[in-house]
Amino acid sequence: MKQIIIPNIKDVKNLKGKRVVLRLDFNVPIKNGKIVETMRIDRAMPTVEFLIKKKARVIILSHIGKDASQSLQPVVRYLAKKIKVGFVPDFRTAQARTVVDGLSEGGVVVFENLRLDDRETENDADFAKYLASFGDLYVNDAFAVSHRAHASVVGITHYLPSYVGFLIASEIKHLSLALSPKHPFLFILGGAKFETKMPLMKKFMKIADQVFVGGILANDFFHDVGLEVGKSFVDKYDFKLTPLLKKGKIILPHDVVVKNAETKKVSTKQIDELSTGESIVDVGPETIKNLIPLIKKTKLIVWNGPLGFYEEGFDKGTIALLKVIADARATSIIGGGDTAVIVDKLGIGKKLTFVSTGGGATLDYLENGKLVGLDAIIKCKKRK
């Protein structure tokens, strides 16, 4: 597949004094006012630092959470440890204009959560125009929200010369490897929600050599072939999975970690040994061990979704497989979301080729090879 060239801010000459509206994705998990996971912020810093170095005046826009209920203040406090940064608590007031007008060259300000205003998610043209009025240029480096047609992602590109930043360029460069893969290519699919993952499964059944299915998704296969899955969560869907198995590409766990609903006892069992009172919570150690020879001869590994009931602490299978991959020679691309959080906790990010910052955006890009936010930059008519 041909690599798409997306206009990048690094190629823009003379940014000195220019007001740059920079869309980032600071949608990070916060507990008791503290950021739990900073990957998205850290990975956005090269673009922020580049703009500061070029003496641009930087206006950072982001959302946090689904609605207006959360504040970006903890993120601003975190940023303030790295750079000098101001904050506008309500970007709809005259204060926003005053602060931006007073920004010095190399100065940075963050506007409060964009979802304070419903017009953001509605992709309202007036709101997009209002946001654009703060800048001379627009940069999207918010890969994780680039699957959303929102005012600060899509609408704004109608009013300003628009570019992507370093993070998006890196995401596209690496995720594209999955779309025109080297072989042998192993695709690993975990997590829950069969409906959302099915398109990926179908797509990678065509282009990968093997597909290892873990997580709740695997339960659906076990259930479909008539195995006892006890109290395991099984998604409801109206298609048959057995034809997929017949293609011979799918590898399923053959041992699993199970939890007894009554006694709460956790044990490892072969997949045909489950009793009605048990539920599958993780892949077993034998399954991981048996994957090692395959991983050793694989050239490309793309992985999306954890293998166990991660929310309840069943992350051993995912951790064990990540360690095997980290020590392998294959190019390794890890989809974002929960798997990325585990990578970060283990501190093995540097031993993997790439860890995506996206959740839904990563799935969308892998499935379709494009995102609305990127198309908007490519099609922007305001660039000379």
44, 145, 172, 208: which one contacts ligand 3PG (CB under 6 A)?
145
Helix, strand, or coil here: 108? strand
Tell me phi and psi for residue 151, to 5 degrees.
-60, -40
Among 15, 20, 22, 25, which residue sits at the site for ligand 3PG (rule: CB under 6 A)? 25
Q: In what order do the strands lie in the sheet with 86-88?
A: 86-88, 108-111, 57-61, 19-23, 137-140, 162-164
Least gap, CB of 148 to ligand 3PG (angstroms): 5
Site residues (CB under 6 A) for ligand 3PG, limited to 302-361: 359-360
The answer to whether 157 touches 38, Cβ cutoff 8 Å, is: no
Residue 63 Cβ vs ligand 3PG, minimum distance, rounded to whole Å:
7
What DSSP character marks residue 8? B
CB of 145 to ligand 3PG, least distance (A): 4
Query: Is the CB of 143 or the CB of 166 nearer to ligand 3PG?
Result: 143
Tell me: does residue 284 bind ligand 3PG (CB under 6 A).
no
| The pair of three-digit structure tokens given for residue 5, joined into one six-digit string | 């060239």
Spatial distance between the Cα atoms of 264 and 281, rounded to a whole number of angstroms? 12
Which positions ≥6 away from 304 have C-beta within 8 Å?
Answer: 188, 189, 190, 191, 197, 200, 334, 335, 337, 339, 362, 363, 366
Binding positions for ligand 3PG, 159-198, rule CB under 6 A: none
3-state helix/strand/coil string of 22-49: EECCCCCCEECCEECCCHHHHHHHHHHH
d(CA 328, CA 324): 6
Residue 66 within binding range of ligand 3PG, rule CB under 6 A: yes
Q: Is 370 annotated as a binding residue?
A: no
Q: Give SS3 for 163.
A: strand
To the question of whether residue 8 is assigned a binding role by annotation, the answer is no
To the question of whether residue 231 is assigned a binding role by annotation, the answer is no
Give the nearer residue to ligand 3PG in terms of CB position, either 135 or 337: 337
Judged by CB under 6 A, how many residues of this single chain contact ligand 3PG?
A: 8
Interstrand relation of 30-31 and 331-334 (parallel, antiparallel or unpaired): unpaired
Q: Is 120 or 255 the residue whose CB approaches ligand 3PG more closely? A: 120
185: annotated binding-site residue? no
Amino acid at residue number 106? G
* Residue 309 identity: F
Q: Determine the interface stretch with ligand 3PG among 140-148, 222-230, 240-248, 305-313 (rule: CB under 6 A).
A: 140-148
Do 314 and 198 form a contact (C-beta atoms < 8 A)? Answer: no
Which residues does residue 140 pair with via DSSP β-bridges, in sequence order?
Answer: 23, 164
Task: Rank residues 29 and 277 by Cβ distance to ligand 3PG and give the closer one.
Answer: 29
Nearer to ligand 3PG, 23 or 259 (CB): 23
Instruction: Using DSSP, state whether 29 is helix, strand or coil.
Output: coil
Distance CA(124)–CA(92), nearest Å, equals: 14
Of the candidate spans 31-39, 144-152, 167-175, 347-355, the one that interacts with ligand 3PG by CB under 6 A turns out to be: 144-152
CB 359, min distance to ligand 3PG, A: 4
Six-digit token pair at 79?
Answer: 């940023």
Residue selected from 39, 56, 144, 280 as contacting ligand 3PG according to rule CB under 6 A: 144
Strands 108-111 and 57-61: parallel
Which residue spans within 335-375 are E strands per DSSP? Answer: 354-355
Report whether 135 belongs to an annotated binding site.
no
Is 336 labeled as ligand-binding? yes
Answer yes or no whether residue 27 interacts with ligand 3PG by CB under 6 A.
yes
Nearer to ligand 3PG, 27 or 162 (CB): 27
> Whole-number minimum distance, CB 361 to ligand 3PG, in Å?
6
27 is in an annotated binding site: yes
- Check whether 246 is labelled as a binding-site residue: no
Binder among 148, 174, 197, 259 for ligand 3PG (CB under 6 A): 148
Which chain residues interact with ligand 3PG by CB under 6 A? Answer: 25, 27, 66, 144-145, 148, 359-360
Binding residues for ATP: 197, 311, 336-339
Binding residues: 25-27, 40, 63-66, 115, 148, 197, 311, 336-339
